[in-house]
Chain A
Amino acid sequence: MSEKQKPGISGGWLVAPAMVWLALFALAPLVFLVTVSFWTASMFGLTSSFSLQSYASLAGDSIYIRVLGNTVKIAILTTALSLLVSYPIALFLASLKGKRKMLFVILLFLPFWTSYVVRTFVWMPILGRSGLINATLMSMGIIDRPLDNLVFNEGAVYLGLVYVYTLYMTLPIYLALDKLDPALIEAANDLGASAWQTFRKIILPLTLPAVWSGCTMVFLLCCGAFVTPRLLGGPSSQMFGNIISSQFLDAGNWPLGAALSVVLMVVVMLSLYLASRRFGFQSLFMGRH
């Protein structure tokens, strides 16, 4: 297509304001953070000379490594759980038509459009000592003392994370399923494929990029989790986000907090790199067209 240059504002100028904003408030602060991670903190404030002290104390204290490992484990397991929970519901939504489909898509969306602080908090009066589950079990006479081990542990963190993040898995898979050509599935049926064969050989491979994009999104969100482990987790199920926030908001040790943030960023970037090798970086976020 040989298109002559149209008179008008060049695309670069229109894109510039957004790029300048992000350079100023997303990229530059990141460079700052990396810089500060090489500073030192004392009771008199920050010392801006190069030092590896924060990274040394990070590597020297096994608790940071342990929590990082635990965070990655929780993120991976939550991602797997979300996939298991989401795929069938995406199939269900894609199988609906017309007004019913619209209704259920809206029903799926609505909770995710409301405060996730509230949606996390509400599990406390469900799982807690005087929570819904304990009250129900006691009134049925199954237990006579409330169970204390339903909340403030890792299991509750999984539940809370799946609850707040599962839409990020469901949505891309549903959109991919919805775009599938029904003729492909009819053809498979006509050729005598079983439901499982059709799924395994046609539906799953065609929705794999969407699955991958959902997994990436949920994994990223879990890596940065802070609210859920703080409210629903116990002392041993705190995640990396909680350690980072306590350095900034409680301990006031910016260099160590910055070093911890850099470590988390590196983990996230590495996983993104690995994830994008398969289908490309942009398709993780924008789908394939």
Chain B
Amino acid sequence: MLGPNQNSMALWLRLYAGIFFGFLYLPIGVLLVLSFNDSPVIGFPLRGFTFDWYHQVFNDSKFFIALFKSFSVGLVSSLIATALALMAALGLRKHFWGQQWVVPVMLIPIIIPGIVSGAVLLVFFGIAGVPYGLWTGALVAHVTWVLPFAFLTLYPRLAAFDQALEEAAMDLGASPWVVFKRIVFPLIKPAVIATVLFSFTLSFDEFVRTLFVIGAERTTPVYLWVLIVEQTAPFLPAAGVIIMLISVAVAAMGFWVSTTSSQAIERRSSSSRH
């Protein structure tokens, strides 16, 4: 997008990009190096190479319990949020009373500062007498937080979807459910899977809202937080590296599914136009 008389600018941008990505990845490199550093102090100078901290993490049952809880609540909340978001995105393509309020309401969880969202649910569950925990407060907090993002990912895909196919099927007498199952869903399936995966990563990393409503239970971010604040765990960098690898793996799957899906949709819509 830069013109021919802007070569020097392109050079500056490249230089700047080097600095920027250095800034972005330096801390991650430091974390990786420290996770192998043979020293009980999380810091420098480096004292030698060890796998001890990874051994400690793998032998830490609390870490695995937290990991398991993060996975289960992440899976359930991303499925619920994606289902709610998908229905909303499908519904929004038609006209109905009060339609203009749907998107603003959808955005409320993004607008409310994280700390307030946590406080709000803490008070709500406290006064309602619902005990705090993973499957009460944390699940509700995660679905509510993830829902707008799932919606914002799915809505543009569905808004761009060619409704002529559906109308043709309806005219031929197919019921709405059959139209959805046979025509709409197969076309948007990759987008839906990608949304579930992205939602999962959001839930997997959620911390502030969870902290307020999870009670005595621990998801991985909450467990790591406790370790950081108590400053008693030299294996923290190793645990951090493992958590990062999991998030990156899930996000990479999401990327892969969503890029292949957009290519597939482009192929299909271009072939249907001919």
Interface residues of A, Cβ cutoff 8 Å to B: 6-19, 21-23, 25-30, 32-33, 36, 85, 88-89, 91-92, 94-95, 102, 104, 106-111, 113-119, 121-126, 128-132, 134-136, 139, 163, 177, 180, 182, 185-186, 188-189, 194-195, 198, 220-221, 223-227, 231, 240-241, 244-245, 248-249, 254, 257-258, 261, 264-265, 268-269, 272, 281-282, 285-286
Contact = CB atoms under 8 A, between A and B. Distances in A.
Nearest to B39: A130
B264 interface: no
B44 A115 contact: no
Given A244-B119, A261-B119, 6 more contacts: A15-B88, A25-B144, A28-B124, A111-B28, A119-B28, A226-B114
Contact of A118 (B124, B170, B240): B240
Given A113-B247, A115-B205, A32 B96 contact: no
21 contacts: A22-B144, A26-B109, A88-B13, A92-B16, A116-B207, A117-B228, A118-B224, A118-B243, A132-B30, A132-B44, A139-B45, A163-B23, A194-B5, A198-B6, A226-B114, A226-B208, A227-B207, A231-B228, A245-B119, A265-B112, A282-B103
Contacts of A29: 120-121, 123-124
Contact of A95 (B10, B110, B117): B10
A217 B5 CA distance: 34
- A7, A95, A185: residue with the most chain B Cβ atoms closer than 10 Å: A95
Given A113-B201, A115-B240, A118-B31, A248 B91 contact: no
A22 B108 contact: yes
Given A111-B25, A189-B3, A30 B120 contact: yes
Contact of B116 (A7, A11, A129, A244): A244
A182 B6 CA distance: 14
Contacts, number: 288
Given A18-B151, A135-B44, A10 B96 contact: yes
Most buried by A among B30, B151, B259: B30
A182 B93 CA distance: 32
Nearest to B228: A121
B240 A7 contact: no
Contacts of A33: 116, 119-120, 123-124
B165 interface: no
Interface string B156-187: 00000000000100100000100100000000
B2 A15 contact: no
Interface of B: 1-6, 8-10, 13-14, 16-17, 20-21, 23-28, 30-31, 34, 41-45, 84-85, 87-88, 90-99, 102-124, 126-127, 140, 143-144, 147, 151-152, 167, 170, 176, 179, 201, 205, 207-208, 211-212, 220-221, 224-225, 228, 236-237, 240, 243-244, 247-248, 251-252, 255, 259
B115 A241 contact: yes
Contacts of B45: 135, 139
Given A118-B244, A121-B240, A139-B45, A12 B116 contact: no
Given A8-B176, A21-B144, A29-B123, A119 B94 contact: no
Contacts of B1: 94-95, 177, 180, 182, 185
Nearest to A110: B248
A195 B6 contact: yes
A115 B17 contact: no
Contacts of B98: 12
A32 B127 contact: yes
Contact of B208 (A28, A36, A227): A227
Q: Most A CB atoms within 10 A — which of B45, B99, B152, B220?
A: B45
A113 B259 CA distance: 17
Given A132-B30, A177-B1, A264-B116, A26 B144 contact: yes
